[in-house]
Chain A
C-alpha cells in the first residue's frame, strides 16, 4: 500500500544521491537517525557466521560485515555507530531483512535470481555447490543412492529446494526433513535420524570437521548444482545503501586484507576447537575477488 508513495522517494533518491549526499533515504537515513545498525548472524554457518566458544557470533562473513559497518560509519561521518546483533535462521532471514529487523545479513546466503526479487545482495564472498554429507558406514556416495531414504536439509535454503526438485524429477521417493539450522540438520545425520544432509559443500565440510569423529563422514563427489555465489544480504530497492556496501566490499576484496581475512578463516585454525578447514581460495573466487560482482548467475564465475 505504501509502496506507491515510497516509489517516487526511492527514484528521487536514485537520481539525486550522487549529486547531494545530504538527502539520505532508506537504510542510510535510518542508520544516521538511530545511530545503530543491525547485523543478522547465524548459529552454525561455520566458518561464515557462527557462535564461538563463548557463544559470540564470529566468522568470515561477520568480519566482512564489520568492514561494511566501518565504511557506512565513515560515509555518514558518524562519530559513533552502535552495532546490534540479531540471530536469524535460514527460514527467517529473508522476512527479517524485508521487515527491517536486520540491515545486513552476514552468513552463507546463496545469491540467486529468485531471491533478488525479494532482497538485494552485495558482492560475492564465496562460491559453493550443493552436495551431501553422510556417514561412510551408510554406503551412499551419489545422489541416486539416496533413493527411498530419509535425508535432511535446512529449511529456507536453496538446497532443500534443489533436493526437492531433484527428488520429483527422478522420482526417487526420498523423504526430506526440514531442520531449523545446519547444526540441527547435522545432528540428524550424526544420530542416524537421516542418512544424509544436503547442503552447500563448504558448510558440510566445516560441520564434519568440527564433529566428534570427523573421519566417519564423507561428502558426495557429485553435486546438485554448479558453484553458486554467496552474498551479504540487504534490503532491495535501497540503491544509496547498496552503493556504499558495494563500494566497501569491492575495496575490501581487492585489498590484501580481503585475501588475508579469507585465509584466516579457511586455511588457519578457527575457534572454538582450532580446526583447520584447509580450503585455499579457489580460482573462480580469486577472479571474483579481483573483479567483485553481485551477479546471481553461476555461469559468471
Chain B
C-alpha cells in the first residue's frame, strides 16, 4: 500500500506546513508556556499563602481546570472570551478577540493550573528554614520570594516545567477543532485538499515525534546536570 506513497505532496506543502503551521504552533507554545508559568507561579503562591480565602480560591481554580478536557475548554473560551472582555472593560459590545489571542488565553489559563502544581511542589521543596532566614534578615515577602525561594524552585523544577511544555506543544494540536492553521491544521488542510491523508498524517506524526523526542532527551540531560549540582 506504500507503493503510491507520494513524497512530492509533502515536499510541495513544506513551506506552508512550516512557515504558516509550525510558526503558529511554536509561537503559541512559547507564549502560552511563559504565560502559564508566570500565572501558575502566582497561583502556587496564592495556594501557599496564609491570607484567608486565597488558598481556597487557588485550589478551586486548579481543580476546576484539571477536571475539564482541553477540547471543551477550547470551545468555551473561543465563544466566551469576547464577552469576558466586554464585562472587564465595560464596553458596550463584546470585545473582538482573534483566533490566535483566543487560543493563547485558553492555553495560558488552562496550563497555568498544571504549572501551578509543579511550582507548588518546587516552592515546597525549599526548606522552610530559608524563608525564615530571609524574613529574619528583614526581607519582605516579595523580596524573599523573588531573591531566595523562587530562583531555587525554578531551578529544581526546570526539567518538570520543560516536560510540561512538551505536553503543551502536543496539546496545541487540538486547536484543529476550531479550523485554525497550526501545524496539524495545515497538514490536514493539505491532506483533505489533495486527498493525501496517509502521507500528510504520517509526516505530521514523524515531525511531532522528532521534535518531542529530541526535546525530551535534552530535558533528561538537563535533569541529570541539575541533579548533580544539587
Chains A and B touch each other in the complex, with CB atoms below 8 Å apart: yes
Interface size on A, residues (CB 8 A): 35
Are B94 and A99 in contact (CB-based, < 8 A)?
yes
B79 to A, closest residue via Cβ: A95
In this assembly, does B177 line the interface, its C-beta being within 8 Å of a C-beta of chain A? yes
How many angstroms between the C-alpha atoms of A54 and B186 in the bound complex?
11
How many angstroms between the C-alpha atoms of A34 and B197 in the bound complex?
41
How many angstroms between the C-alpha atoms of A6 and B91 in the bound complex?
11
A98-125 residues with Cβ-Cβ distance < 8 A to B are 98-101
A48-103 residues with Cβ-Cβ distance < 8 A to B are 51, 54-55, 84, 86-89, 92, 95-96, 98-101
Per-residue contact bits, chain B 164-204, to A (CB 8 Å; 1 contact, 0 not): 00000000000011111100001011011101010000000
In this assembly, does A298 line the interface, its C-beta being within 8 Å of a C-beta of chain B? no
B178 to A, closest residue via Cβ: A92
Shortest CB-to-CB span from A126 to chain B, Å, is: 21
Contacts of A98 in B (CB 8 A): 94
Per-residue contact bits, chain A 170-184, to B (CB 8 Å; 1 contact, 0 not): 000000000011011
One of B27-35, B50-58, B96-104, B207-215 at the interface: B96-104
Are A38 and B96 in contact (CB-based, < 8 A)?
yes
A1 to B, closest residue via Cβ: B87
Contacts of B94 in A (CB 8 A): 98-100
In this assembly, does B89 line the interface, its C-beta being within 8 Å of a C-beta of chain A? no
Are A55 and B79 in contact (CB-based, < 8 A)?
no
A9 to B, closest residue via Cβ: B92
Between A26, A54, A92, A181, the greatest number of chain B beta carbons within 10 A of the residue's beta carbon is seen for A92
In this assembly, does B61 line the interface, its C-beta being within 8 Å of a C-beta of chain A? no
In this assembly, does B16 line the interface, its C-beta being within 8 Å of a C-beta of chain A? yes
Are A87 and B86 in contact (CB-based, < 8 A)?
no
Contacts of A55 in B (CB 8 A): 16, 20, 181, 186, 189
How many angstroms between the C-alpha atoms of A88 and B80 in the bound complex?
15
Contacts of A34 in B (CB 8 A): 96
Shortest CB-to-CB span from B1 to chain A, Å, is: 13
Are A43 and B179 in contact (CB-based, < 8 A)?
yes
In this assembly, does A2 line the interface, its C-beta being within 8 Å of a C-beta of chain B? yes
Picked from B96, B98, B99, B189, the residue with its CB within 8 Å of the CB of A30 is B96
Contacts of A30 in B (CB 8 A): 93, 96
Task: Given A44-B192, A100-B96, check contact A187 B79 (CB 8 Å).
Answer: no
In this assembly, does B95 line the interface, its C-beta being within 8 Å of a C-beta of chain A? yes
Are A272 and B193 in contact (CB-based, < 8 A)?
yes
Are B179 and A92 in contact (CB-based, < 8 A)?
yes
Task: Given A51-B189, A55-B189, check contact A92 B78 (CB 8 Å).
Answer: yes
Contacts of B98 in A (CB 8 A): 38, 84, 86, 101
Are A101 and B96 in contact (CB-based, < 8 A)?
yes
How many angstroms between the C-alpha atoms of A186 and B191 in the bound complex?
12
Task: Given A9-B92, A55-B16, check contact A180 B195 (CB 8 Å).
Answer: no
Picked from A38, A84, A89, the residue with its CB within 8 Å of the CB of B179 is A89
Contacts of A4 in B (CB 8 A): none
Contacts of A92 in B (CB 8 A): 78-79, 178-179
Are B179 and A187 in contact (CB-based, < 8 A)?
no
In this assembly, does A190 line the interface, its C-beta being within 8 Å of a C-beta of chain B? yes
Contacts of A278 in B (CB 8 A): none
Are A183 and B192 in contact (CB-based, < 8 A)?
yes
How many angstroms between the C-alpha atoms of A51 and B180 in the bound complex?
13
A102 to B, closest residue via Cβ: B96
Are A43 and B189 in contact (CB-based, < 8 A)?
yes
Are A87 and B92 in contact (CB-based, < 8 A)?
no
How many angstroms between the C-alpha atoms of A26 and B91 in the bound complex?
11
A86 to B, closest residue via Cβ: B99
How many angstroms between the C-alpha atoms of A44 and B188 in the bound complex?
12
Shortest CB-to-CB span from A93 to chain B, Å, is: 10
How many angstroms between the C-alpha atoms of A183 and B79 in the bound complex?
24
How many angstroms between the C-alpha atoms of A68 and B97 in the bound complex?
22
Picked from A88, A95, A99, A184, the residue with its CB within 8 Å of the CB of B192 is A184
Shortest CB-to-CB span from B193 to chain A, Å, is: 7
Q: Which 8 A-B pairs have the closest CB atoms?
A: A183-B192, A100-B94, A99-B82, A95-B79, A87-B179, A89-B179, A212-B195, A99-B94
Provide a sorted-by-A list of 27 A–B residue pairs whose CB atoms are within 8 angstroms: A6-B92, A30-B93, A44-B192, A51-B189, A55-B181, A87-B99, A87-B178, A88-B179, A89-B179, A95-B78, A95-B79, A96-B79, A99-B79, A99-B80, A99-B81, A99-B94, A101-B97, A101-B102, A180-B179, A181-B179, A183-B192, A183-B193, A187-B195, A190-B195, A191-B197, A211-B195, A272-B193
Q: A38-B96, A55-B20, A272-B193 are in contact. List 16 more A-B contacts (CB 8 A).
A: A26-B93, A30-B93, A44-B193, A55-B16, A55-B181, A55-B186, A86-B99, A87-B178, A92-B79, A96-B79, A99-B79, A99-B94, A101-B96, A183-B189, A183-B193, A184-B192
A interface residues with partner B (beta carbon < 8 Å): 2, 6, 9, 26, 30, 34, 38, 43-44, 51, 54-55, 84, 86-89, 92, 95-96, 98-101, 180-181, 183-184, 186-187, 190-191, 211-212, 272
